[in-house]
Amino acid sequence: MTASATTSMAPATLNAQLSGGAQVTPMDGPLGCTISGVDLSVMPDADMARVIREAFLAYKLIVFPDQELDEAALVRVSDLFGEPVVHHVGEYLDPEFPQIMRLSNNVVDGKPLGAPNNGIYWHSDQIFRERPMLATLLYGVRTPAKSGGDTLFSDMYAAFEALPVAMQTRLLSLKAVHSFVASYERNYIRARTLSAQEKADNPDVIHPVVRTHPETGRKSLFVDPDSVTEILGVSADESAELLAFLFAHIEDERFVYRHVWQQGDLAVWDNRCLMHSATSYDENSEVRLMFRTQTQGDRPV
């Protein structure tokens, strides 16, 4: 499918390809859609899988409400978006399905059930890898009953396209350094400390500041405050000034959608053109349990 065909796909066109009461509905915001009337505990047929992929590229974020998924079903659904990857922080992985990372503040037998309240910085998942993640799937097993624990998404296509042409041109020639260690130490404050060997085994990587999407051909910003330590080829002061500007820019409400979780929601998003950030919740009065899978991407260009 060409980039223009994908990104201009209208909801009516997608809905025309659906059957059994399923429907694609755009979010009330700058990005995202819901696909309702689909039971993902049963693997979608080829036609439905194609529509899901088209919606994924067109809207960048899909929410499937009212799902009842066990771990095996979540891993099967993840296959629609690529090869599931086992996360590097092993202490929060499901013992039977290591493709699933648990995110939770719950404690069982004195041990955390999952990673508590991480990801509160704008980021693209595992952007500090040579091949960052393509898709992330996040399933709400138990979500806060009152408030909090939302997820913010920012459209990096729109963020890049909103910049003045002179700034776009400048950014196209720049590269940024991404640090696994910096990201780990921000996000896993209750996890074990990295050993010297683990730090050596996870060196910094360099990615372009502006990424070209391998399927749509569109350009997007590709820097985040979670892992970026510097922009190469400029002075330290210029790097800091430019990063501060870009980090503030991606938070602009013109580009941002806030997802308020309902139990049973499955959200799937494209890490190649979205940034996201978790929001906090009251860990003393609320219990949150999310299952997350991620699929392997390619090297950014």
How high is the pLDDT of residue 19?
A: 65
- What pLDDT is attached to residue 114? 83
Task: Supply the Cα-derived Rg of the chain in whole angstroms.
Answer: 19
% residues pLDDT > 90 (the chain) = 71
Residues 277, 157, 297, 257, Cα dihedral to 10°: 30
Domains identified in the chain and CATH numbers: 3-296 (3.60.130.10)
Which of 83, 255, 229, 248 shows the shortest CA–CA distance to 157? 255
Read off the pLDDT of residues 171-191 as tens digits, 9 standing for 90 and up.
Answer: 999 999 999 888 887 766 666
Q: What stretches of the chain adopt beta strand conformation (E)?
A: 23-26, 33-36, 61-64, 101-104, 107-108, 111-112, 133-142, 151-155, 175-178, 205-208, 210-212, 219-221, 228-231, 256-259, 266-270, 274-278, 289-296
pLDDT band at 224 (very low <50, low <70, confident <90, very high): very high
Whether 94 shows a pLDDT value over 80: the answer reads: yes
Decide if pLDDT at 2 tops 80: no
